[in-house]
A and B are shown apart, each in its own frame.
Chain A
């Protein structure tokens, strides 16, 4: 079997010659799924030279069709021979056949309101940009005991997103030994138990149930993110580091403090997670090296490549004229940490999920959350770090493609 491709407007036309049978179906399916993953969501199979289609071939076509249908793409088979058309019709799959001529080069179709930023970035302004209100729980400063009086139970309704360290339980006392990193996205909460062997748990908003956690730390943004930025790796840009994405977000939002959600295919994550609950810390606890290994697990390498991350964070851009950020009040007292860019500080957690394609173009963050968290359970929740050690450093986390939803924090940002 031979496959040739050409791009016409938004369509990828794949010409397949030869037999689509058991020998070739796996190759064919894998190739097309790769193209879908690379962002081709409208595929036309030019079947003029396809001489045979077996049941295994139909199974491969079905896999491609299902993947495209799930992300709002389209799949058509054009110019098929009578043998192929007949096989598909008899199998009840005649709806894939198209009599229309193959598309020719058309003027680029644009979504209404689309403002291209760069070849691999697309910005979609939202209908409403009322800003985000930040709620903070600040009851724990590593590696001191948790301040019981300042810890709070925080609920995570659908109209917000956030991150922090918390645990589920009827009371703080019940939760204190289970405080771990969490992300909350529109009523979907993934929380990492502070246990080396633990898999993240999920709390999903359902009916009147609103998930809540007892929090030692939390940064929760209420409101709808006003902007969407779609990004895709290109030849000149093999992946996007989190700070590169933040730089783009700051430029678009034209503000200094933002809350954001980023969902995308992982190039590599660098992070750590608690393996013992901060609720167990007491005045005499010493946490230096090597004791810290009893409290944290470090990714040690760039992890979870090709899986899906949902990163939630809060970030601040430090004005150039404020001097060194290490000396600024923001650096010394805030819960924001250094990123790969000197002028940006942030606090980010990532939930890792099995990879799922997101539809191209504008997609609501709420729809994304329902889609990603509604499927398989998360594999991990990590506190992302910027590993800038000279020589050994792993750098910062990066994504190949995906989407960022973000907005200006208009209330509570001064408390960061």
Chain B
């Protein structure tokens, strides 16, 4: 279970570039729940993921993962608990190393890694079986450098590596956005399969309303550093893309409600 409590972060405070990226963000992800965060550019959705991953320290608030307060933990220490897949399929893997070597590295995440990276027979068989489950024909290319694979193949392997050790939470940061539509659909399908099979707690940032509607059990909508809508349960099951668009429009309209508009409206309500 992940508890994010009253999280706030202002970048470049007191300067002309001040950005109030998170303003009291508060939510709890149940154990084994798959949620998506959607929002406009600059809404703070990726900032939430980065805060959980420990990329920066929040100004206020706490992050509690399975009862452990990790708010002040450095990023590397959290890595043992958190699986992460980024938008760029070339991030998260070492291009020169083979598929098997990359996976062995992922298997040792959070543990001391010596030079003994040799892939023994049992490990190789396990890797082969799990790569075969991706149904991409990569099980016969375990010794090929990962840099020779397509973006979709690399992202599928990154997903496999990020979830190999069944992380306490899986963070997906627009992980299909840089892929072609066919590969994106394949990676999205694998994501849902792996999360359901391993009963992972997962948080996905996406720009795709189609993915938000189809994949997770919950949609958290952000705007200007705040949660403005939280679709879950029956409400989430009923929500469709036009509902999300309408909510976006409504939220955007609030920005147009300036002080001068308020003065004008005060005079026009009698």
Indicate, yes or no, whether A interacts with B.
yes
| Stretch of A166-174, A239-247, A331-339 contacting B (4+ beta carbons < 8 Å) | A331-339
CA of A119 to CA of B253 in the docked complex: distance in angstroms? 38
Q: A272-B265, A392-B260 are in contact. Are A297 and B270 (CB under 8 A)?
A: no
Among residues of A, the one whose C-beta sits closest to the C-beta of B268 is: A385
Q: Which of A117-161 contact B (CB under 8 A)?
A: 141-143
The contact size tier of chain A is 20 to 34
Q: Judge whether A335 and B270 touch: CB under 8 Å.
A: yes
Q: Judge whether B266 and A141 touch: CB under 8 Å.
A: no
Q: Judge whether A334 and B270 touch: CB under 8 Å.
A: yes
B267 CB to closest chain A CB (Å) equals 7
Q: Mark B252-268, 1 if CB is under 8 A from A, else 0.
A: 11111111111111111
Q: Judge whether A337 and B261 touch: CB under 8 Å.
A: no
Contact of A292 among B247, B265, B270 (CB under 8 A): B265
B194 CB to closest chain A CB (Å) equals 34
Q: Judge whether A385 and B264 touch: CB under 8 Å.
A: yes
Q: Judge whether B260 and A142 touch: CB under 8 Å.
A: no
Interface residue? A387 (CB, 8 A): yes
Contact of A142 among B258, B262, B269 (CB under 8 A): B269
Interface residue? B112 (CB, 8 A): no
Q: A290-B262, A385-B264, A389-B264 are in contact. Are A299 and B253 (CB under 8 A)?
A: yes
CA of A386 to CA of B263 in the docked complex: distance in angstroms? 12
A338 CB to closest chain B CB (Å) equals 7
Contact of A386 among B253, B262, B268 (CB under 8 A): B268
Q: Mark A289-318, 1 if CB is under 8 A from B, else 0.
A: 110110011111100000000000000000
CA of A272 to CA of B262 in the docked complex: distance in angstroms? 11
Interface residue? B250 (CB, 8 A): yes
Q: Mark A221-255, 1 if CB is under 8 A from B, else 0.
A: 00000000000000000000000000000000000
Contact of B270 among A141, A299, A387 (CB under 8 A): A141
Among residues of B, the one whose C-beta sits closest to the C-beta of A142 is: B269
Contact of B256 among A288, A289, A301 (CB under 8 A): A301
Q: Judge whether B265 and A298 touch: CB under 8 Å.
A: yes
Query: Total A-B residue pairs with C-beta atoms closer than 8 Å?
Result: 70
Interface centre among B256, B264, B267 (most CB of A within 10 A): B264
Q: Mark A264-290, 1 if CB is under 8 A from B, else 0.
A: 000000001000000000000000111
Q: How many residues of chain B have a CB within 8 Å of chain A?
A: 21
Q: Which of A379-416 contact B (CB under 8 A)?
A: 383, 385-389, 392-393
Q: Judge whether A289 and B263 touch: CB under 8 Å.
A: yes
Q: Judge whether B262 and A289 touch: CB under 8 Å.
A: yes
Q: Judge whether A338 and B256 touch: CB under 8 Å.
A: no
Among residues of B, the one whose C-beta sits closest to the C-beta of A334 is: B270
CA of A387 to CA of B268 in the docked complex: distance in angstroms? 9
Interface residue? A347 (CB, 8 A): yes
Q: Judge whether B269 and A383 touch: CB under 8 Å.
A: yes
Interface residue? A196 (CB, 8 A): yes
Q: Which of A195-217 contact B (CB under 8 A)?
A: 196-197
Residues from chain B with a CB closer than 8 A to the CB of A338 are 267-268
Residues from chain A with a CB closer than 8 A to the CB of B269 are 142-143, 272, 296, 383
Q: Judge whether B267 and A298 touch: CB under 8 Å.
A: no
Residues from chain A with a CB closer than 8 A to the CB of B265 are 272, 292, 296, 298, 385
Q: Judge whether B270 and A336 touch: CB under 8 Å.
A: yes
Majority-rule SS of B interface residues: helix
Among residues of B, the one whose C-beta sits closest to the C-beta of A388 is: B264
Q: Which of A303-361 contact B (CB under 8 A)?
A: 334-338, 347
Q: Judge whether A300 and B268 touch: CB under 8 Å.
A: no
Q: Judge whether A337 and B268 touch: CB under 8 Å.
A: yes
Among residues of A, the one whose C-beta sits closest to the C-beta of B243 is: A197
Residues from chain A with a CB closer than 8 A to the CB of B250 are 196-197, 297
Q: Judge whether B264 and A387 touch: CB under 8 Å.
A: yes
Interface centre among A288, A298, A301 (most CB of B within 10 A): A298
Residues from chain B with a CB closer than 8 A to the CB of A393 are 264
Contact of A300 among B261, B263, B266, B267 (CB under 8 A): B261
Among residues of B, the one whose C-beta sits closest to the C-beta of A385 is: B268
Residues from chain A with a CB closer than 8 A to the CB of B254 are 293, 297
B256 CB to closest chain A CB (Å) equals 3
Q: Judge whether A298 and B261 touch: CB under 8 Å.
A: yes
Residues from chain A with a CB closer than 8 A to the CB of B259 are 289-290
CA of A118 to CA of B266 in the docked complex: distance in angstroms? 37
Q: Judge whether A297 and B253 touch: CB under 8 Å.
A: yes
Among residues of A, the one whose C-beta sits closest to the C-beta of B258 is: A392
CA of A169 to CA of B267 in the docked complex: distance in angstroms? 30
Among residues of B, the one whose C-beta sits closest to the C-beta of A274 is: B269
CA of A334 to CA of B268 in the docked complex: distance in angstroms? 12
Q: Judge whether B261 and A142 touch: CB under 8 Å.
A: no
A386 CB to closest chain B CB (Å) equals 7
Residues from chain B with a CB closer than 8 A to the CB of A337 are 267-268, 270
Interface centre among A196, A292, A299 (most CB of B within 10 A): A292
Q: Judge whether B253 and A298 touch: CB under 8 Å.
A: yes
Residues from chain A with a CB closer than 8 A to the CB of B255 are 300
CA of A143 to CA of B266 in the docked complex: distance in angstroms? 9
Q: Judge whether B262 and A292 touch: CB under 8 Å.
A: yes
Residues from chain A with a CB closer than 8 A to the CB of B258 are 392
Q: A196-B250, A272-B265, A389-B264 are in contact. Are A293 and B270 (CB under 8 A)?
A: no
Residues from chain A with a CB closer than 8 A to the CB of B257 are 292-293, 296-298, 300
Residues from chain B with a CB closer than 8 A to the CB of A289 are 259, 262-263
CA of A26 to CA of B112 in the docked complex: distance in angstroms? 67
CA of A359 to CA of B268 in the docked complex: distance in angstroms? 34
CA of A290 to CA of B266 in the docked complex: distance in angstroms? 12
CA of A197 to CA of B259 in the docked complex: distance in angstroms? 23
Residues from chain B with a CB closer than 8 A to the CB of A196 are 250
Partner-A contacts on B (CB < 8 A): 247, 250, 252-270
Instruction: Report, nearest first, the 7 A-B pairs whose CB atoms are least far apart.
Output: A300-B256, A385-B268, A142-B269, A289-B262, A300-B253, A298-B257, A335-B270
19 contacts between A and B (CB under 8 A): A142-B270, A272-B265, A296-B265, A296-B269, A297-B250, A297-B254, A298-B253, A298-B256, A298-B257, A298-B261, A299-B253, A300-B257, A300-B261, A335-B270, A338-B268, A387-B261, A388-B264, A389-B264, A392-B260
Given contacts A142-B266, A300-B253, 11 further A-B contacts (CB under 8 A): A142-B270, A289-B262, A297-B257, A298-B265, A299-B253, A300-B255, A301-B256, A334-B270, A336-B270, A383-B268, A383-B269
